A and B are shown apart, each in its own frame.
Chain A
Amino acid sequence: AQKITQTQPGMFVQEKEAVTLDCTYDTSDPSYGLFWYKQPSSGEMIFLIYQGSYDQQNATEGRYSLNFQKARKSANLVISASQLGDSAMYFCAMREGRNEKLTFGTGTRLTIIP
């Protein structure tokens, strides 16, 4: 079974609108972390936001927030007031237990339309 599932291969969103990128995960470990990364066309992988499994509140970082629904095993990324510079690939990733490596989803290509 896929540990990280991103069901939206591509999304087109009008500039200034909010956008939600979906991510569901699968783990039996009670301790885990969820991450979102942005990969522009230039290729670098940029860390955006982190949510721990024991965190009581949803994580926020500027225009990014993580809609964490533990029972549903989902960790959707919300970008408010989208900008042209938000056009990129977005990856959801998970770290389980003491394992430090990240497992990535297949990504969502977000295109912001002016």
Chain B
Amino acid sequence: DSGVTQTPKHLITATGQRVTLRCSPRSGDLSVYWYQQSLDQGLQFLIQYYNGEERAKGNILERFSAQQFPDLHSELNLSSLELGDSALYFCASNWRGDPGNTIYFGEGSWLTVV
């Protein structure tokens, strides 16, 4: 158990809909990352938040947005969903004191768009 908690674990929704994925980082971790894993794109970095502020942005679509709240949990909002958005979405967290700033991943949220 990495200590990173993600909900829901599985989600099936229709095209055009909007979903919210939730993440609680490890206790004490200030950074939260979102990654997308799909068959065609592999593991892609989406966005990072540090203590409530956006720190880095990757290949995140404009239809997607994220935020980190004062209690450090984070949400990834996916809107106008398309079939190609079906993927495993990971939340991860780290603390600068870990060796190499090791990033610990949650179990992921499986999103299926039908």
Contacts and interface: CB of A to CB of B under 8 A. Distances in A.
Contacts of A29: none
A101 B58 CA distance: 9
A6 to B, nearest CB: 10
B83 to A, nearest CB: 20
A23 to B, nearest CB: 14
User: Which of B42, B48, B100 gathers most chain A CB within 10 Å?
Assistant: B100
Interface size class of B (residues with CB under 8 A): 20 to 34
Interface stretch (B14-22, B62-70, B102-110): B102-110
Nearest to A99: B56
Interface residues of A, number: 22
- Chain B at the A interface: SS class: strand
A101 B99 contact: no
Contacts of B42: 104, 106-107
B27 to A, nearest CB: 17
A104 B44 CA distance: 8
A95 interface: yes
Contact of B48 (A52, A101, A107): A101
A42 B9 CA distance: 11
Interface string B30-56: 010100000000110100100000011
Interface of B: 2, 31, 33, 42-43, 45, 48, 55-56, 58, 88, 90, 92, 94, 99-108, 110
11 contacts: A35-B102, A43-B88, A44-B106, A44-B107, A44-B108, A45-B92, A52-B99, A52-B100, A95-B100, A100-B31, A101-B56
